[in-house]
Structure 1
Amino acid sequence: MHLVAPGLFGTETGGFHGPTLDDFFPAAVLFEGTPFEMNRIMIIRLIMVALLLLLFWLGTRNLKVVPNRAQGVLEFALDFVRKNVIEEQLGAKEGRRFAPLLMTMFFLIFAFNFTAVVPFFNIAASSVVGFPIFMAVVAYIAFIYAGLRKHPGKFLKNSLFPAGVPKVMYLLVTPVEFLSTFVMRPVTLALRLLMNMLVGHMILVLLFAATNFFIMEAGGAFPALGAGTFVFSLAFTLFELFVAGLQAYVFTLLTALYIQLALAEEH
């Protein structure tokens, strides 16, 4: 169950206070005042990275032709990403080159998104802007690298000066292509991931906070309304879990698509 964040209810008036953006800027808990300062969100990220490493180590340390349950689940997840994202966009040959990057991207984003519905974590580790920006930069470097490696003399030229366009139109087309290809792609990747997880956290906290307020403080007929908000809270928790997977899928799919466009023969 999603625990209500502290500070949602005023201690002086006893009134209801909705969630704020302060949830995403918690106080330092380790190494305060040093370059290694860490808050609870950073600690959650480290925990999830450690759990991912442990999961993949346990799932691959003793591979069998007939997989056990744990190996079967892991292979199913890997095959899903490989077939529905990597090979769907890049094909088998190019997909093998970029599979390590795209696999890591998918599972890391999903793990960080998943913490939004984990008790005592209660916030997506991807809902603070640094991580979405970092992943968008990784995607940006990947598709630029792919294009320059495949078409070293043509990638930038054909990206900014598409073939078949009258030369006079390049005054309009080239700035638009530059913005859409080299600016908007990473920006939209980062914002899509950030805003979905940020808004999801705010709605979850609001629903559980309202439930607590209606049942514990409001009195009268409001506890019945609290039962309704509690049902909505549980339903939205399941929806947030779906969004966690969907956003990992969409981010990885778009990264693979941008790499595929960079590799296209017209470049």
Structure 2
Amino acid sequence: MSIVATVAPADYTPPGIEEFWQPLFGTDGPLAITRPMLLMALSVILVAWWLLATTRKKAVLPGRGQMGTEAIYGIVRNGIAKDLIGSREFMRFVPLLFTLFVVILTNNFFGVIPPMSFPTMSRIGFPIALSLIVWVVFHVVGMKKHGFIGYWKSLVPSGLPKAMVPFIFFLELITDLFTRPVTLALRLFGNMFAGHILIVLFITGGWYMLTSGGVLVIAGGVTWIFAFVMTLFELLVEFLQAYVFTLLAALYIAGAVADEH
């Protein structure tokens, strides 16, 4: 109670949604150039540079750069695409899945790397855009393989009583057209949003207590220790969210191109 009593709540403003809208050029309208937009562009440049720099001089005995690139590529190619989509179909989807993984991972890691210190995927527009790409791809490849009628007809398992067919078809249609892309986007967005705002809260709250003097200095030091632990945990979450997004994208594609779809 003594610690709480010494704090002047009005002096500290906790982080809010304004933390995620940071216009750098222009007004606050739709034409503003924001920090997340620049970070996304930067991530594309960094990923392109990294791939070119580590694969320009490919060797049978790879160096550290090539080895690291091949390890990440192997995670996507063998651990996700091949295992889920199957050895006959997987290779044509590897470029898409690999791009999704490295771009999401880079933008997630921006959340804990100064001076960026902002996870781009905490802006809902970016996860929605990536989810829509996946949504279009798995529907298009499914219809190309099974035909338009055959693709949608296969949403209903065979052997169901006729009275249940309309209900099952409606539920599966909602899942394919709405639930999958929405949950794919919200899962990535929610984790990046929550993780970033917690870290900002611990860091800014800890700094407020450290500069308030008295016994609050101890509380501020403990808070910053928690901030460091949260940052390490957030690194794991950022990797896992990139992996899960790519995994689910491959799973949806696998379902669309499966022979028994």
What TM-score comes out, normalization by structure 2 length?
0.92
User: 1:148 matched to which residue of 2?
Assistant: 143
Letter of the 1:61 counterpart: R
Letter of the 2:20 counterpart: F
User: 2:203 matched to which residue of 1?
Assistant: 208
User: 1:89 matched to which residue of 2?
Assistant: 84
* 1:183/1:118 CA distance change after superposition, 3 Å: same
Structure 2 residue matching 1:92: 3-state secondary structure: coil
**Separation of aligned partners in 1, 2:177 and 2:117:** 34
**Separation of aligned partners in 1, 2:231 and 2:79:** 26
Letter of the 2:226 counterpart: F
Runs of 4+ with >2 A deviation: 29-37
Q: Where in structure 2 are the equivalents of 1:214-229 lying within 5 Å?
A: 214-217=209-212, 219-229=213-223
* 1:52/1:228 CA distance change after superposition, 3 Å: same
**Separation of aligned partners in 2, 1:13 and 1:247:** 35
Q: Where in structure 2 are the equivalents of 1:118-197 lying within 5 Å?
A: 118-152=113-147, 153-159=149-155, 161-197=156-192
User: 2:3 matched to which residue of 1?
Assistant: none
Deviation at 1:33, TM superposition (A): 8.5
* 1:33/1:231 CA distance change after superposition, 3 Å: closer
Q: Is the 8 A contact 2:76 2:94 kept in 1?
A: no
**Separation of aligned partners in 2, 1:13 and 1:84:** 50
1:2-24 per-position Cα deviation (integer Å, ceiling 9, x unaligned): xxxxxxxxxx9862221100111
Deviation at 1:34, TM superposition (A): 9.3
User: What CA RMSD, in Å, does the superposition of the two structures yield over aligned residues?
Assistant: 1.8
User: 1:242 matched to which residue of 2?
Assistant: 236
Deviation at 1:25, TM superposition (A): 1.2
**Separation of aligned partners in 2, 1:58 and 1:238:** 28
Percent identity (aligned): 35
Question: Can you give the 5+ residue segments of structure 1 that lack an aligned partner in the other structure?
Answer: 1-11
Question: Can you give the 5+ residue segments of structure 2 that lack an aligned partner in the other structure?
Answer: 1-7
What TM-score comes out, normalization by structure 1 length?
0.90
The total of aligned residue pairs comes to 253
**Separation of aligned partners in 2, 1:88 and 1:193:** 22
* 1:227/1:35 CA distance change after superposition, 3 Å: closer
**Separation of aligned partners in 1, 2:157 and 2:132:** 24
Matched, 1:55 2:55: no
**Separation of aligned partners in 2, 1:23 and 1:141:** 32
Deviation at 1:227, TM superposition (A): 1.3
* 1:247/1:33 CA distance change after superposition, 3 Å: closer
* 1:34/1:198 CA distance change after superposition, 3 Å: closer
Letter of the 2:195 counterpart: G
* 1:135/1:167 CA distance change after superposition, 3 Å: same
Structure 1 residue matching 2:13: 3-state secondary structure: coil
Structure 2 residue matching 1:154: 3-state secondary structure: helix
Letter of the 2:152 counterpart: L
Matched, 1:259 2:253: yes
